[in-house]
Amino acid sequence: MTTTSERSRGPASSLLAGKAVGSSSGGPGSGEGQGSAGGWGSGGAGWEGSPPASRQRWWRFEQMLPRGLTVAVWIPLLAIVLLVVVLVVKAVPAIRFNGLHFFTSDAWSTGNAFGSVVTTGGVRHFVGASYGVLPLVVGTLISSAIAIALAVPIGVATALVIVEKLPMRVSSGVGFCLEVLAGVPSAVYGIWGVLTFGPWLAHHIDGPIARNMPDVPVLRWFRGAGPHNVVGQGHDLLTGGLILTVMILPIIAATTRDLLRQVPRATVEGATALGLTDAEAVNTVTLRWVRSGIIGASMLGLGRALGETIMVAMVGGALLGSSPHSIFSAFNTIAAAIVTQLEAALSDPTGLQVGTLAEIALVLLVISLAANVIARWLVQRGVGTALPVGRGI
Mean pLDDT of the chain: 81
* pLDDT for the residue 329: 86
> Where are the domains positioned within the chain?
130-381
Lowest-confidence pick of 36-45, 163-172, 243-252: 36-45
Amino acid at site 209: I
Q: How far apart, in whole angstroms, are the C-alpha atoms of residue 47 and residue 40?
A: 5
**Between 34 and 219, the higher pLDDT residue:** 219
Whether the pLDDT of residue 127 is over 50: the answer is yes
Residues in Cβ contact with 83 at an 8 Å cutoff, skipping those fewer than 6 apart: 365
- Asked if residues 118 and 130 have their Cβ atoms less than 8 Å apart, the reply is no
Amino acid at site 83: L
Average pLDDT estimate for 267-279: 85
**Between 143 and 210, the higher pLDDT residue:** 143
Element (H, E) at 191: helix 186-192
**Between 292 and 45, the higher pLDDT residue:** 292
Q: How far apart, in whole angstroms, are the C-alpha atoms of residue 198 and residue 181?
A: 19
Q: Convert the pLDDT of each residue in 145-171 to its tens digit.
A: 999 999 999 999 999 999 888 888 888
User: Among 349, 331, 333, which Cα is nearest to 110's?
Assistant: 349
Q: How far apart, in whole angstroms, are the C-alpha atoms of residue 242 and residue 327?
A: 11
Average pLDDT estimate for 213-228: 75
Pairing of β 108-109 and β 130-131: antiparallel
Q: How far apart, in whole angstroms, are the C-alpha atoms of residue 342 and residue 88?
A: 17
Architecture label for domain 130-381:
Orthogonal Bundle (1.10)
